[in-house]
Each structure stands twice: as C-alpha cells, then as structure tokens.
Amino acid sequence: MGVMRKKSVLVILFLVLITLTSCKQASGSAVEETEKTILAGIGYNNQHSQYKGLERFKEIVEKKSKGALNVKIFHSGQLGDDRSMIESLQLGVLQVTIPSTAPLANFISEFLIFDYPFLFPNEEVADEVLDEEMGKRLLDLLPQQNLIGLAYWENGFRDLTNSTRPVSSMQDLKGLKVRTMESELHLSAFRKLGANPTPMAFGELFTAMQQGTVDGQENPISTIYLEGFYEVQKYISNTHHVYTPFIFLMSKPFYESLNEKEQKVVSEAAREAGKYQRKLNRKDTENYLQKLKDNGMEYTEITESSRKEMKKTIEPLLEQYTKEIGTDMVSDVYNAIENAQSP
Ligand code: KDG
C-alpha cells in the first residue's frame, strides 16, 4: 500500500475513532441520544473566509437544531487533501468538505466546465449562474457519487504568482514550473501556454515553492496572502484565468440519516453561510492585494490582448473536454452566462 494510501487509511481510522467517541458521549445521556456530529474538513487555514463561513454554518446549525446537531471543524488539510476528504464523505466517515470544483471533476467530469479559462466575466454573473437552474443541474449529478451538494461558495478568480520573473504575457510563461490543482484540464492548459506544470495537492504547495520544486502557482488573492505565499513568491500577475467556485459537499449516507427538519436546517445553513462567505472573500480580495505589495510582491497587470491570446491558444484544447462533459451541458452553461449578462 503506497504512503498516500496509508495516510488516507490512517485519516479514515482517526475519523471513525472521533465519530465513535462522539456517539459514546451521546449515549451518555438520553437527552443527547439523537445528537449527531458533523465533522467538517477543509484545505485552507483558519484565517480564510472558507473557515469563517464554516463557523457561520456551525452557529446556524447548532442554534436551529437546538443542539441535536453539532459541528467540528478541521482546517489546513488536517483530515487530508481534497480528494481524500471527498472519498471520506463517500465512505460516510467525514460529513462535510468544501473543495474547489477542480478536484471534484475527478469524480464527476461535468464539473470540469468551471476550469474553462476565462469562463465567468465577474463574480455577479458567477453567482447568478451557480445559484440558479444551471448550478442546480450540476448539483443533481452528485448523489450518484454518494455526495450531496448543498451550496456553492467562493474560492475566487485565480492569479498567477512565481519566484522567477514578472509575467505580463504568454511568452513570459515559457518553461515556468507551475503547480496546478489535480486537474487534467489545468495541466494541459498551462502546458499549451508554454509552462511546465506539475499537479499537486494544496497541502504540499508551500514547501514545494520554498524548496524551488516549483517556480509558481495560481490561486485567488486571499489564499496567496492568508497562506503566506508572499514569503516564497516574488511576482504576481492579475491573470484572473479561472473563477473557481467552492462546493459545499455533504456525505449522502449522513444526509439521509437526518430527519426532514434537520435536512432543511443544514441546507439553509449552507446557503446562508455561503452568501456570508462570498461577501467576506470579496472584501478580503480588495484588502489583500495591497498587503501583498506591502510584503514585497511585484504586481504586473495582464493586458486584455494578452488574455485574449491565452484564451485563443487554449481554445482548441477544450474540444476533448466538451466531448467528455457533453456538448449540450457546455452550451447550456455558456447560454446561462450570456443570459446573466443581458440587461
Ligand atoms: O479547501 C480548498 C483547498 O483544499 C483547495 O481546493 C484550494 O484552490 C485550491 C487549490 O489550489 O488546491
């Protein structure tokens, strides 16, 4: 069994242990008999809006369920990376995780659509498309993977950082060792742009940049600041090449163990906390770019013509993914984006 698999098995055993302990505590008194524990794991640290959104979720759920449900939050990848936490949900040993949609696409390929470069023009259009019919259609694909999608949260527009040189156009990307999420599409897109990409779990990224295993990475500004990437990265470019949604996932076996009232509580809490998290993330993004510059990062504007050149270069690559996702689904997403922009 490989090291990673051993790690995942250890994490799962650890989770089962916690769950059993909570049940034991619960069986200690009749009142707590029905108490159910929601273990929630995320990849970012406890300064990020992803964590603060989960704290809001915890507050709402524990209040509205009058203590019948309680939430325990584990941040910074303590319970594994995105993929292993999604697998733990499928097994029912973890109840909630909120990954980017990119790792989820390894389980349900339709979610690859959110990695199409330059898909969303801004956050408002993304909110409308995700929260309406199109977003719901994608959530409906999750139960087949033993997952329930309760809401879309926001990771945000991804920008490129690196330790080697300013990047103002595609030419500057040539040969740059860029870490990407574990997404075939991201990998092939950066390769097509001339970079030398490496897929890697988020938890390994800081060390890889520190040791020079990779020159750069791409993440939203709040992540770049809150995870301290400015300590190991000199240059940032506002590529805004992908808007990444977070997706609030719940284990289907756990969701089905809840009564109707509890299911309503967790669903409404995930949506309400998501609206709070999006607002907080946008405020952070406004504040943190200046803080990155104050911490020594050199900021480079990417011109619209450079963005157009990148988009044109990647376009031919998308054909194979459109076939995998389904041409109807892809055109419906583009139509939904167009409709969301029309007055
Ligand atoms: O919890 C979220 C993170 O684990 C991850 O999805 C964030 O965008 C991300 C990345 O670059 O891996």
- Residue nearest atom 4 of ligand 1, based on CA coordinates: 43
Contact call for residues 256 and 187 (beta carbons, < 8 A): no
Q: What is the reported pLDDT for 30? A: 44
Q: How many CB atoms are closer than 10 A to CB 80?
A: 26
pLDDT tens, N- to C-terminus, the chain (343 residues)? 345 555 555 566 566 556 555 554 544 444 445 689 999 999 999 999 999 999 999 999 999 999 999 999 999 999 999 999 999 999 999 999 999 999 999 999 999 999 999 999 999 999 999 999 999 999 999 999 999 999 999 999 999 999 999 999 999 999 999 999 999 999 999 999 999 999 999 999 999 999 999 999 999 999 999 999 999 999 999 999 999 999 999 999 999 999 999 999 999 999 999 999 999 999 999 999 999 999 999 999 999 999 999 999 999 999 999 999 999 999 999 999 999 998 8
Q: What is the reported pLDDT for 26? A: 46
Measured in angstroms, how far is the CA atom of residue 230 from the centroid of ligand 1? 17
Q: How many CB atoms are closer than 10 A to CB 191?
A: 14
Measured in angstroms, how far is the CA atom of residue 246 from the centroid of ligand 1? 9
Q: Is 85 helix (H, G, I), strand (E, B) or coil?
A: helix
| CA distance to 35, 81, 216, 274, 281, per residue, from 177 (Å) | 49, 22, 6, 34, 28
Measured in angstroms, how far is the CA atom of residue 307 from the centroid of ligand 1? 23
Q: Comparing C-alpha atoms, which of 143, 95, 128 is closest to residue 254?
A: 95
Q: Best substitution site from 83, 100, 182 to test ligand 1's pocket, by max atoms within 8 Å of Cβ?
A: 100
Measured in angstroms, how far is the CA atom of residue 49 from the centroid of ligand 1? 13
| CA distance to 9, 46, 255, 302, 305, per residue, from 12 (Å) | 5, 22, 19, 43, 48
Measured in angstroms, how far is the CA atom of residue 124 from the centroid of ligand 1? 22
Measured in angstroms, how far is the CA atom of residue 255 from the centroid of ligand 1? 24
Measured in angstroms, how far is the CA atom of residue 144 from the centroid of ligand 1? 23
Q: What is the reported pLDDT for 326? A: 95
333-307-121 Cα angle (round to 5): 35
Q: What is the reported pLDDT for 9? A: 52
Lay out the sheet containing 159-162: strands in order across. 216-219, 159-162, 235-237, 298-300
Q: Comparing C-alpha atoms, which of 341, 335, 322, 278 is closest to residue 134?
A: 335
pLDDT per residue as tens digits for the range 285-301: 999 999 999 999 999 99
Amino acid (1-letter code) at residue 63: K
Q: Best substitution site from 85, 155, 183, 204 to test ligand 1's pocket, by max atoms within 8 Å of Cβ?
A: 155
**For the whole model, what pTM was predicted?**
0.91
Q: Give the residues across from 300 on adjacent strands.
A: 237
- Residue nearest atom 3 of ligand 1, based on CA coordinates: 43
Q: Give the residues across from 72 on adjacent strands.
A: 39
Q: Give the residues across from 159 on adjacent strands.
A: 219
| CA distance to 188, 308, 317, 321, per residue, from 313 (Å) | 11, 9, 8, 15
- Residue nearest atom 12 of ligand 1, based on CA coordinates: 202
Ligand 1 pocket residues where CB is under 6 Å: 42-44, 50, 82, 99-100, 155, 181, 202, 219, 244
Lay out the sheet containing 96-97: strands in order across. 69-74, 36-41, 96-97, 243-251, 147-157
User: CA 198, CA 182: separation in Å to the nearest integer?
Assistant: 9
84-85-86 Cα angle (round to 5): 90
Radius of gyration of the CA atoms of the chain, in A: 20
Q: Give the residues across from 147 on adjacent strands.
A: 251
Which residues 6+ apart lie within 8 Å of 168 measured at CB?
A: 237, 300, 301, 302, 303, 306
